Amino acid sequence: MPEGHTLHRLATDLTAAFAGRRVRVSSPQGRFAADAAALDGATVVAAESAGKHLFVELEGERYVHVHLGLIGSFDVRSGAAPAPVGQVRLRIENGEAYADLRGAIVCDLVGPERRATVLGALGPDPLRPDADPDRAWQRVRRSTRPIGDLLLDQSVLAGVGNVYRAEVLFRQRIHPQRPGNTLRVGQWRAIWDDLVVLMAEGVRVGRIDTVRPEHTPEAMGRAARDDDHGGEVYVYRRTGQACLVCQRPVRTEVLAGRNSFWCARCQPRFRSRAVQ
């Protein structure tokens, strides 16, 4: 289940497995069958990610545009492909490796124009070295929307999902409901720089770990937890459990349509000076 780091890693794995190679393309489930047939036997150029979007380029400037949505998965494995298990919408294989796509919200065959349109609608991606954090800041500093809302808006910045939103705001001690236009530029830069580090680490290890060494269960003398998303986090989906830093119960509230998590002590609610 995907935030930007998952897609970035996926692009790397797909490129390693298939770039420069002819591939068989199929749709065992059937919903991508016509396009798969058109692509079958083509040579893969490369795969790339931008935010939560993935493009697999095949010869002839043809791109398979994939967005995993909330529940999609794209598994890249080595070896010959076995009989498909479950609803495999897209399978790419070359005898030495195979990749199965399931549950994606988008799986379309597109051309360069559509690809450019999708990329153009995205804010800067902390995983891309050419990303310009100031472009996002110009949106944040003018907005009265909560920062927890802005961080999930892919046109403001691309690749952050619900886990990174909760975790980066905890690490920077900023309440999710704090309006964007009350942040100082230094706080924004701290959020961005932290995302660059956290997401790069997410790509490297393949899971989301955000807990600093001094706050790990071992360092705090507590039993290790086994989070069901695979990583070690401060507040994400820890509602009611003790904050790893101050022991207060972690709180939750729906923000921008998604569950938001924070510690009321470590991330005090912002009070506008104008009100006082």
Q: Is 59 annotated in the active site?
A: no
Piece in contact with DNA (CB under 7 A), picked from 11-19, 20-28, 82-90, 169-177:
82-90
- Stretch of 134-142, 181-189, 224-232, 267-275 lying at the interface with DNA (CB under 7 A): 224-232
Q: Does 79 bind DNA (CB under 7 A)?
A: no
3-state per-residue secondary structure call for the chain: CCCHHHHHHHHHHHHHHHECCECEEECCCCCCHHHHHHHCCCEEEEEEEECCEEEEEECCCEEEEEECCCCCEEEEEECCCCCCCCCCCEEEECCCEEEEEECCCEEEEECHHHHHHHHHCCCCCCCCCCCCHHHHHHHHCCCCCEHHHHCCCCCCCCCCCHHHHHHHHHHCCCCCCCEHHHCCHHHHHHHHHHHHHHHHHHHHHCCCCCCCHHHCHHHHCCCCCCCCCCCCCCCCCCECCECCCCCCEEEEEEECCEEEEECCCCCCCCCCHHHC
State which of residues 24, 114, 189, 229 lies at the interface with DNA (CB under 7 A).
Answer: 229
Q: What are phi and psi of 224, to 5 degrees?
A: -65, 150
The active-site residue out of 2, 28, 124, 176 is: 2
- Give yes or no: 82 in active site: no
Q: Does 232 bind DNA (CB under 7 A)?
A: no
> Contact region for DNA (CB under 7 A) — 19-27, 102-110, 134-142, 264-272?
102-110
Nearer to DNA, 45 or 261 (CB): 261
Smallest gap, in angstroms, from Cβ of residue 73 to DNA?
Answer: 7
* 124 part of the interface to DNA, by CB under 7 A: no
**Would you count residue 87 as binding DNA (CB under 7 A)?**
yes
Nearer Cβ to DNA (22/237): 237
> Which of 26, 27, 49, 154 forms a contact with DNA (CB under 7 A)?
154
253 part of the active site: no
Contacts with DNA, residue ranges (CB under 7 A): 1-3, 6, 29, 31, 51-52, 67-73, 85-87, 89, 102-103, 105, 152, 154, 161-163, 208, 228-230, 237, 257-259
Q: Which residues have a catalytic role annotated?
A: 2-3, 52, 258
